[in-house]
Amino acid sequence: MATNQLTQRSPARFLGWAWEETLAASTTGDPVAIPPLLAGQRISVRTQGGTNSAKVQSTISSDAKVAAGTAVWDDWPPGLQIGTVSANIDAPVTALRCVTSNTTSATVLFEILV
């Protein structure tokens, strides 16, 4: 399983890190690692699904378990949602991923900003 890395925003309004990907319907995205230097910072996440439903999952499992595909994943507080949904994740996490569930041809845009 591939693990994606956040990209440092430059130039930007403020120093930060970001991730953006588009997922097809009925897809579990690859994990996006949250670097230890960002532990404890507020992480903003958003899914834009139109008619498709999606949820964000986080893990506190070790980097090794994330890479091996054996991490334990927890759903974000909003749960599975249709349309555009934003939330903040305050607790330290090691990785995030997006899971889409509809079988339509719609896609979901997954965004992270730290």
Share of residues in the chain with pLDDT > 70 (%): 92
Would you report the helix, strand and coil content of the chain in percent, each value rounded to 5?
Answer: 10, 45, 45
Q: What is the pLDDT of residues 65-92, one digit of tens each?
A: 999 999 999 999 899 998 899 999 877 8
* Range 73-76 contact pairs with CB under 8 angstroms and sequence separation of 24 or more: 73/97, 76/45
| Amino acid identity, position 36 | P
Q: How many domains does the chain have?
A: 1
Q: What is the pTM of this model?
A: 0.89
* Pair 113, 89: CB distance under 8 Å: no
Mean pLDDT, rounded, for 14-22: 85
Given pLDDT bands bounded at 50, 70 and 90, which one contains residue 10?
confident
**Domain range for 43:** 4-113
CATH number of the domain that residue 66 is part of: 2.60.120.380
Q: What is the pLDDT of residues 31-62, one digit of tens each?
A: 999 988 777 788 999 999 888 889 999 999 99
Taking the C-alpha atoms of residue 11 and residue 98, their distance in angstroms, rounded to an integer, is: 26
Which pLDDT belongs to residue 14?
66
Q: How confident is the prediction for the chain on average, in pLDDT? A: 88
What the block records as the tokens of 42 is 């507020």
